[in-house]
Structure 1
Amino acid sequence: MKPFLTFILATLLAATAHADSLQTLDAFLREVSSGRAGFTQVVTSPPRSGETRPRTKTSSGRFEFLRPDRFRFEYARPFPQTIVADGQTLWLHDVDLNQVTARSQKAVLGSTPAALVAAGGNLQSLTSAFDLKAAPDADGLQWVEARPKATDGQLRQVRVGLRGRQLAVLDIEDGLGQRSVITFTDWQSGPGLNAADFRFVPPPGADVIRP
């Protein structure tokens, strides 16, 4: 095949692959109403003054969600912590401090990575908060870039990595240069969750803070 024709063919195939990643995200939002997975999160922070290397912190646990707008991150290592969205309230439980922070879910989740996972409906449901762009396939995954439309938040960009109808990676960058990569494993679609599974009751004696 002539070089020019090869270039044209490669360009067309790349464009098709990029478009397919948006279609895959749309299908994930429309067809996968609930899910459960293990996760590992690696947070990389820019080096402080006098440091030569970035600082990293690794944590792991279990994740589950139910559309619309319910999810749970259960951190097991290195410190136990629970984050639950029950549809109305976002709860954060620090087990070691026996402290619970409760915030209005609607007020804090509009342009966050969690909205990309737990939002209901379809791709259109995200466009009020995010500019979405298909990105080249890499590492065996299809990728979508999401940038928040609001310019006053801390989030800079989220890259969503998909393996078919499964969420594989969330690659999150904030405005201070911190990067958080959440990798999901042992994915289960439709594990039979219901709203009661996301009900959170502060444990006895916990200090409950409502900012």
Structure 2
Amino acid sequence: MKRLFLSAALFLSGFSAQADGLQALDAFLREVGSARASFTQVVTSPTRAGEAKPRSKTSSGRFEFLRPDRFRFEYTKPFPQTIVADGQTLWLYDVDLNQVTARRQKDALGSTPAAIIAAAGQIDALKGAFELKSAPEQDGLQWVEATPRAKEGQLRLVRIGLREKELAVLDIEDGLGQRSVLRFSQWQANPGLKAGDFRFEPPAGADVIRP
């Protein structure tokens, strides 16, 4: 579930009610340097033969980021798990397995939603990895569609829904038809986060894997 998010980590903007999605995204990248929020994630798999409906899994937790290259996802339900990008290393800590996976952040992100989160404060920084376009307003949200330019990756499409100065929805679809929808609430823009807040130390006794 979490690997879809990583292999496929948020937008905020100040924009007028008449602004389109790209204007909202541009304002977000320029004006919001950090944020903190709660999230709920629903991952839906394609329907298999003999199944009456698609299978889905729901998880929830807290999220925060600091531009240009730091973020943290703390999954609390149904199972605790932590994903941290500290600017150099992407850490994945599975509490139940007491196992930490560490990858070079630059290599692990690429054309992913997490790369969008870690982008610098200009929309041009994203255009090398994504084809960006505005989508029609829906459910009171401004939308942007981000299609990876690299066709060999697992990610097919990311849809970003924005409301005023909040990221409301991040909708991710992979090449196999699996869909992950993150909905955000309790959003705090520019809460004064520092680089040291994203430091991660593997817990004592945990197995550390470096692929």
Same fold (TM over 0.5): yes
CA contact (8 A) 1:83 1:90 kept: yes
Q: d(CA) in 1 for partners of 2:109 and 2:72?
A: 13
* Unmatched 5+ stretches in structure 1: 1-16
Q: Conserved in 2, the CA contact under 8 Å of 1:143 and 1:159?
A: yes
| Structure that is richer in helix per residue | 1
Corresponding residue number in structure 2 for 1:186: 186
Quote the residue 2:207 is aligned against. 207
Structure showing greater radius of gyration is 1
How do residues 88-127 of structure 1 correspond to structure 2 at under 5 angstroms?
88-127=88-127
TM-superposed CA distance for 1:110, in Å, is 1.7
Q: In 1, Cα distance between the equivalents of 2:132 and 2:157?
A: 10
CA RMSD in angstroms, aligned pairs only: 1.4
Give deviations 1:146-196, integer Å, cap 9, x for gaps. 000000000000001111222111000000000000000000001110000
| CA offset digits 1:104-124 (Å, max 9, x no partner) | 110121200112222112111
1:66 alignment partner in structure 2: 66
Higher RCO structure (Cα 8 Å, ≥6 apart): 2
State the 4+ residue runs in structure 1 displaced beyond 4 angstroms: none
CA apart distance, 1:20: 2.2
- The number of equivalent residue pairs is 196
Q: Distance in 1 between matches of 2:108 and 2:131?
A: 18
Per the normalisation by structure 1, the TM-score is 0.90
TM-score, length of structure 2 as denominator length:
0.90
| Partners of 1:18 and 1:137 within 8 A in 2 | no
Q: CA-to-partner distance for each residue in 1:81-119, whole Å, 9 max, x for gaps?
A: 000000111000000000000011101212001122221
Aligned to 1:53: 53
Counterpart of 1:22 in structure 2 is 22
